[in-house]
Amino acid sequence: MSMMEKTPQVARLYEDHSSVQYELGQDLIASHLRPFPGQTVLDLGCGTGRLARKIGSVVAKQGRVLGVDPNTERIAVATEEERRCSESHQRNLTFIPGLVHDAVQHGPFDAVFSNFALHWVPKDDTDASVSSIVKCLKPGGRLCANLTHDSGACANDLSLVTTGQTEESVTGMDFRSLQYWTDKFTAAGLQIEYALQDDNTTMNFPSVREYFDFVKAYTEGAVDYQKLNARELSDFMGNHSLGSLESKFVYILSVLTIVASKPEDR
């Protein structure tokens, strides 16, 4: 089995090959988070910080964004990119390594934003994480989250070919239902404003190679197509009726979108 590699190279690969996920995060920002100048936002599981930078540019210098992620290499890339990209030197963005529990002392925030991170929270830390999310919110504050319910046959197929195990068992991701999450948030005192399961979310990759790089990056190197031999590669391509590594590739996954608010009197 391949091991997860939390290296600067794999973190950089994520920054360079996560555009499809970034686009879904941008949709969540535009449709539900709808930030405005002066707001404070926590980006939970911020990865290399692309979406946090996007939110930071809207909340502007009177606002503030904190990005938190347990992967220290991704936080290093986020911090480096923020310094490089912040032409106006607004410096309204901070990145810290850690979990949501570590963000509580920096709050409360107007919103907690989280794009494809909650399915990484281990089951035995879910109740504590949900409780920390609630503590991070101001009364009236909102949680806006995208998460994966099932990352699709293609990803699992690639994991099976490369490691002989399912993607879930290789990476430690823990997929749970929409009902599971809405029940958890409701029990912790949030009001569900919006909850949707879309089993046909498409990610359009310009090539199979880009898809493979994305999988390698988000599984932190655990699922690595470069370790495939010629027969395994041809089996994978054949199963998906693909001609070459340069063929366009559409990846279909199930996405849960949840928006929940903290009552004003809490």
Ligand X SMILES: C[S@@+](CC[C@H](N)C(=O)[O-])C[C@H]1O[C@@H](n2cnc3c(N)ncnc32)[C@H](O)[C@@H]1O
Q: How far, in Å, CA of 157 to CA of 236, rounded?
A: 8
Task: Decide: 115 and 45 in contact? Cβ < 8 Å.
Answer: yes
Segment interacting with ligand X (CB under 6 A) among 53-61, 64-72, 159-167, 205-213: 64-72
Nearest residue (CB) to ligand X, 144 versus 190: 144
Binding to ligand X by residue 132, rule CB under 6 A? no
Binding to ligand X by residue 46, rule CB under 6 A? yes
Segment interacting with ligand X (CB under 6 A) among 45-53, 135-143, 174-182, 197-205: 45-53
In the bound complex, what is the minimum distance in angstroms from residue 241's beta carbon to ligand X?
Answer: 27
- Per-residue tokens: 120: 């990484």
* Chosen residue from 16, 26, 85, 120 binding ligand X by CB under 6 A: 120
- Per-residue tokens: 88: 């106006």
Q: Which are the contacts of 227, defined by CB distance < 8 A and separation ≥ 6?
A: 2, 162
Cα–Cα distances in angstroms (integers) from residue 25 to residues 20, 108, 115, in the given order: 9, 22, 6
Q: How far, in Å, CA of 46 to CA of 66, rounded?
A: 9
Nearest residue (CB) to ligand X, 51 versus 223: 51
Binding to ligand X by residue 74, rule CB under 6 A? yes
Query: Kind of pairing, strands 109-115 and 40-44?
Result: parallel
User: Residue 206 corresponds to which amino acid?
Assistant: P
In the bound complex, what is the minimum distance in angstroms from residue 231's beta carbon to ligand X?
Answer: 30
Segment interacting with ligand X (CB under 6 A) among 18-26, 87-95, 178-186, 254-262: 18-26
- Per-residue tokens: 102: 């570590």
Binding to ligand X by residue 108, rule CB under 6 A? no
Which residues make up the interface to ligand X (CB under 6 A)? 18, 21-22, 25, 44-47, 50-51, 69-71, 74, 99, 115-117, 120-121, 218
